[in-house]
Chain A
């Protein structure tokens, strides 16, 4: 079966996650790595990209513990979320599965896709999360 060209979209990013892969889009013209991928390079306006697999490891830049949550997350509260800088330099936010007293800025974390569960409604995306490396 001929491999289809996968659009450089947010939806495709999440489809890759379902396969346990953290994929970014590298601009073939200027070399910028986009996470999330985007159809137009915001640096050089090129539309020529290639998928590259990124290391799921990174360090925590900042975090918070959410106590008042939107309805669909209320069952999980309180939960920690943070912004992680991956080894290649790009930043991505997500939940951190660790008890709050063990969370420190600068700590090494790794992304896990273990228990991705798609929801019934739009969008049909899984969720990733971070855990201590």
Chain B
């Protein structure tokens, strides 16, 4: 299996990310599906698509469960087997894994995989409460620990162990806002200064408002098929050549380390081995920057630098467009936005654009190999996927 395509992405779609007032999740998903269908004229959705996997985190937002069937219906795929996966913020990363299982098993030749979340109609207090459901209830939520609080616990530990600074955290925010300013679908399309970030209000010390990703509405999707069928649908497929997923304790407190995510390291190891590539071969990556500290830890867990070197990597601009390894060219969860269920396949959408040379102003020159890193909760789920231009 080493280095061989597991499945091929032949099309992809992304709704506008942002505050999409007056829309239901199903309507937003239909927008993403429409783009994927339009992008692939050789695809006959009703005839060709044999399964739908959809990442969705919370019923609470819209008081609506049963997301698989709902999204299938509203994407015009009535009667396809439709399954929703939930793994908190890694819900559609996990859906992508499930879709790969489906294609590799031979049960389905062409599948749609995506994710959706509608969040902005709820108050910040409500969203804070719903997001916290991704953490341990009886020992974390029960004692008032919020989701930003969990990442703040990691940030404090990282600063104490490695000397990571608030300025380095701010560098991640500034970079991702710059990238977001180049992405017409991003929630926030304006640049910020380090001073903006450092002087923003404290959410969970040392994390401030600009260290946190955005509460956003949005949907994303991909069309996957067997590598041998890919050319039937497009001349420029993107192959998935590595896939890793791992889990960890639901409570952050039970883990050996608070400065690294074991699930992410394990998922990355699997994906790298399967793809037969090394961290230095990655040309462009979308990583799970739910908080700025999470992006710094991601650099380290993915082997882009040594443990403890993440803060410097960001500060030196090595992960900015034009740098050694551009990370989150879409703007990331920080500026593109984080509609939790849509994030995993939304990251894959950006890599699809990059490797098919459709990323416009944020195009990474000659990008051949890309990576996505999607984390659920405080790291109890992680998925890593590696892509190659077909």
Residues of A within 8 A of B (CB): 10, 14, 36, 61-71, 73-74, 76, 78-79, 81-83, 91-95, 100, 105, 123, 125, 127, 129
Contacts and interface: CB of A to CB of B under 8 A. Distances in A.
B138 interface: yes
B78 interface: no
B201 A67 contact: yes
A76 B145 CA distance: 12
A81 B138 contact: no
A74 B144 CA distance: 9
Nearest to A82: B153
Given A62-B156, A70-B132, A93 B140 contact: yes
Q: Which interface residue of A61, A69, A70, A125 has the most chain B CB atoms within 10 A?
A: A70
A68 B128 contact: yes
B203 A67 contact: yes
Contacts of B251: 93
Q: Which interface residue of A10, A78, A83, A123 has the most chain B CB atoms within 10 A?
A: A83
Nearest to B208: A67
B143 A61 contact: no
Contact of A62 (B148, B207, B258): B258
B156 to A, nearest CB: 5
A125 B146 CA distance: 19
A95 B139 CA distance: 11
Given A71-B129, A100-B205, A64 B252 contact: no
Given A62-B160, A73-B144, A36 B205 contact: no
A59 B89 CA distance: 31
B143 A68 contact: no
Contacts of A123: 138, 142
B160 A105 contact: yes
A68 B144 CA distance: 10
A87 to B, nearest CB: 16
A34 B253 CA distance: 13
A65 B202 contact: yes
A93 B313 CA distance: 31
A74 B143 contact: no
B21 to A, nearest CB: 23
Given A68-B204, A93-B253, A36 B146 contact: no
Contact of B149 (A14, A64, A105): A64
B195 interface: no
Nearest to B144: A73
Given A10-B138, A65-B202, A70 B143 contact: no
Contacts of B144: 66, 69-70, 73, 76, 79, 81, 95
A61 B142 contact: no
B314 to A, nearest CB: 21
Contact of B156 (A14, A64, A76, A93): A64
Interface in B119-160: 124-125, 128-129, 132, 138-146, 148-149, 152-157, 160
23 contacts: A10-B138, A36-B139, A62-B156, A63-B153, A64-B205, A65-B204, A65-B205, A66-B144, A66-B145, A66-B146, A68-B204, A69-B146, A70-B144, A70-B146, A76-B144, A81-B145, A81-B153, A91-B254, A92-B253, A123-B138, A123-B142, A125-B138, A127-B143
Nearest to B251: A93
Contacts of B252: 83, 93
Given A61-B258, A62-B154, A65-B202, 14 more contacts: A62-B157, A62-B258, A66-B146, A67-B204, A68-B146, A69-B128, A81-B144, A83-B153, A83-B253, A92-B139, A93-B145, A105-B156, A105-B160, A129-B143
B211 to A, nearest CB: 12
A127 B143 CA distance: 7
Contacts of B157: 61-62, 105
A66 B258 contact: no
A71 B125 contact: yes
Nearest to B209: A68
A83 to B, nearest CB: 5
Nearest to A105: B160
Given A79-B144, A91-B254, A64 B138 contact: no
Contacts of A68: 124, 128, 146, 148, 203-204
Interface string B147-183: 0110011111100100000000000000000000000
Nearest first, the 5 A-B pairs at minimum CB distance are: A64-B152, A62-B157, A65-B205, A73-B144, A93-B253
A79 B146 CA distance: 11
Contacts of B154: 62
A70 B139 CA distance: 15
Nearest to A84: B253
A68 B145 CA distance: 10
